[in-house]
Structure 1
Amino acid sequence: SLGISAVLIVIALGSFGLQGLNFGIDFRGGTTIRTQSTEPVDIGTYRGAMDGLELGDISITEVFDPTFGEDQNVAMIRIQAQDDQESVSAAVIQTVEEALQVAVPDVTFTSVESVGPKVSGELIQTAVIAVILAIGAVLIYIWMRFEWQFAVGAVVALVHDVVLTIGVFSEMQIQFDLAIIAALLTIVGYSLNDTVVVFDRVRENLRKYKQKPLSEVLNLSINETLSRTMMTSVTTLLALLALYFLGGDVIRGFVFAMIWGVIVGTYSSIFVASTVLLWLGVKRDWSKPDANAGNQFANIDA
């Protein structure tokens, strides 16, 4: 299992190094145009009006703005910065507005906001720090609750999940934006939950079966929690699949990251974290940590 994980990690790192990520507007910079009209927002009509402009990544979402009251049809259009410019030029914005007015004659443009490359660079740095701090907090939590061997196993599993998720986004060149960072942090929490369930059963069985080899205890613990793990993952996937196919383009990237994260998170909780724990070893008597150290009769009743 670790061999498969190692190959996938190498592929993920190779893809990230060779072609990088397809950053969205949040990280690349761009312009957001907010519109309002008397007609209901038809995202297909809006997108069709701009398809021929060759502006690259365009995100269109219908939003609720309380300042417009109940009878509102407000859309938010996000256009990525062009390759040879730091931000979307005024001429490009005017071209977009003219194209939209042809498709939706009564459309009005209530605001235009730009995100420059400096802000985008700060967002990337902040996102990386957020993921690292989350994994660091997990390391401390597991270390305090169990032992350092468990903490290392859990963190290796989490890093495995994050790296493979970033790798699949790099390999498939799916848009990577702030929503994906939220998905990564959610994946960290989900995977940790599965891992802690397995580790808690391992700790119980280490107390119960003091003479069994660690490999047998791990195998028993995984089998005892397997049905719970699989039922949790399958029910979560059912909800995510419904969102992926019926939720629209706006959340599709986030939901794809969650689907992939649930799959690799379940895999890592069962195979990666436990294998690392087996390599590192762990103490066997949890009820009295060091009371019988060096005592030849310590395990006579086990």
Structure 2
Amino acid sequence: MNKIYRIVEKRKIWYAISIIVIAIGIFTMATKGLEFGLDFKGGTVIEINLGQNFNKPDVDKVIKKYSNDFQSNKVEKTHISIKSANLSNDDVSGIVKDIKAKYSKSNITNQESIGASIGQEARINAIKAIVIAIVAMFIYIAIRFEFSFGMAAIIGLIHNILIMLSIYAILRVSIDSSFIAAALTVIGYSVHDTIVVFDRIRENQKYMRREESGVIADASLTQTMARSINTVLTVVITLVSVYILVPSVRNFSEPILIGIISGCYSSICIASPTWVLIKNRMKKRKKLKISSDTEN
């Protein structure tokens, strides 16, 4: 066999990196909280048809006269969508009037208010969706493989979600429905990547029965690492291109980009070493039980 990467032996380094990032994120969340988008805290959504192609920064300057806390997205070539938690009806009228003075053919095509209670309900439903997805993944992996694989995969998934939340908290990026959709997408993608590694571990267990779990995991990671990294790189290149060239979907592509990178790191450096720890713990308990039964 070719050279084997000693990933499991260095698990303390990988765990330390993740713990530092998550600890900073939790501290930020505890002291400053998370920045929630309009979907989760309520506010006003307006869409304006400018009647012609336009420069988005110019329109943003107009909006900033009325609100410093807003999100704007260029929709197609002639429409702009504006979201803000603190726009009054007078502010909306002022924005439309100022934009119309600059773009004579412009007119408001949609205005919608989202109440705080609806935003709170959306938050609760988002959390439920993530929890259900994680539990379903655990059941699937536990049935397809075994309990230790399921537990390791769940720890990896929770790690990914915490990393995404921590980075958003540290960078003060707002969390909205796009983040939740991206998080669920990342959960499915990262589990697929983890399953590829676990499937190789299961196969190698048949041919490396006398080897320790750490050696089997390292061999399996070495065999699958190139595939995992190459797959992630192709996805990252695509997402970066979308992020740069399609600003209207940045709220969706940004968390996916973070999650995909975190998911690859998790599959290699978190899930597999965690499986080794769980597997070794289960073996010790089994030996203690056999020893106890023998003495009795």
What's the TM-score, normalizing by structure 2? 0.85
Q: SS of 2:65's equivalent?
A: helix
Q: SS of 1:236's equivalent?
A: helix
Distance 2:109 2:275 in 1: 57
Question: Is the Cα–Cα contact under 8 Å of residues 34 and 77 in structure 1 kept in the other structure?
Answer: yes
Measure how far apart 1:40 and its partner are.
3.1
Q: In the alignment, which residue of structure 2 is the partner of 1:67?
A: none
Q: In the alignment, which residue of structure 2 is the partner of 1:165?
A: 164
1:8 lines up with 2:25 in the alignment = no
Describe how 1:207-246 pairs up with structure 2 within 5 A.
Answer: 207-246=206-245
Q: In the alignment, which residue of structure 2 is the partner of 1:50?
A: 63
Identity across the alignment (%): 28
Distance 1:109 1:79 in 2: 14
Identify the match of residue 277 of structure 2 among 268, 276, 279.
Answer: 279
Amino acid at match of 1:78: I
Q: In the alignment, which residue of structure 2 is the partner of 1:80?
A: 84
Moved more, 22-31 or 226-235: 22-31
Q: In the alignment, which residue of structure 2 is the partner of 1:291?
A: none
Runs of 5+ unmatched residues, structure 1: 64-72, 83-87, 285-293, 295-302
Measure how far apart 1:200 and its partner are.
0.1
Measure how far apart 1:252 and its partner are.
2.1
RMSD after superposition: 2.0
Q: SS of 2:104's equivalent?
A: coil
Measure how far apart 1:282 and its partner are.
7.0
Question: Is the Cα–Cα contact under 8 Å of residues 51 and 103 in structure 2 kept in the other structure?
Answer: no
Identify the match of residue 75 of structure 2 among 62, 74, 89.
Answer: 62
Deviations 1:38-86 (A, max 9, x none): 32354334223223223411323325xxxxxxxxx7524323122xxxx
Q: SS of 1:174's equivalent?
A: coil
Question: Is the Cα–Cα contact under 8 Å of residues 28 and 80 in structure 1 kept in the other structure?
Answer: no
Amino acid at match of 2:153: A
Distance 1:228 1:211 in 2: 27
Deviations 1:3-27 (A, max 9, x none): 2222222222111111122111111
Q: SS of 2:210's equivalent?
A: coil
Describe how 1:129-208 pairs up with structure 2 within 5 A.
Answer: 129-208=128-207
Q: SS of 1:32's equivalent?
A: strand
Q: SS of 1:269's equivalent?
A: helix
Q: SS of 2:17's equivalent?
A: helix
Distance 2:128 2:185 in 1: 15
* Higher helix proportion: 2
Which structure has more RCO (C-alpha within 8 Å, separation ≥ 6)?
2
Identify the match of residue 27 of structure 1 among 31, 37, 40.
Answer: 40
Q: In the alignment, which residue of structure 2 is the partner of 1:251?
A: 249
Q: SS of 2:48's equivalent?
A: strand
Measure how far apart 1:36 and its partner are.
2.9
Count matched residues: 270
Question: Is the Cα–Cα contact under 8 Å of residues 52 and 78 in structure 2 kept in the other structure?
Answer: no
Runs of 5+ unmatched residues, structure 2: 1-13, 283-289, 291-296
What's the TM-score, normalizing by structure 1? 0.84
Distance 1:4 1:40 in 2: 46
Question: Is the Cα–Cα contact under 8 Å of residues 140 and 151 in structure 1 kept in the other structure?
Answer: yes
Distance 1:39 1:74 in 2: 5
Distance 1:44 1:6 in 2: 38
Distance 1:128 1:166 in 2: 13
Measure how far apart 1:267 and its partner are.
0.9
Measure how far apart 1:30 and its partner are.
1.5
Measure how far apart 1:264 and its partner are.
1.2
Q: In the alignment, which residue of structure 2 is the partner of 1:300?
A: none
Question: Is the Cα–Cα contact under 8 Å of residues 149 and 281 in structure 1 kept in the other structure?
Answer: yes
1:268 lines up with 2:231 in the alignment = no
Distance 1:123 1:193 in 2: 27
Amino acid at match of 1:54: S
Question: Is the Cα–Cα contact under 8 Å of residues 55 and 79 in structure 1 kept in the other structure?
Answer: no
Amino acid at match of 2:213: L
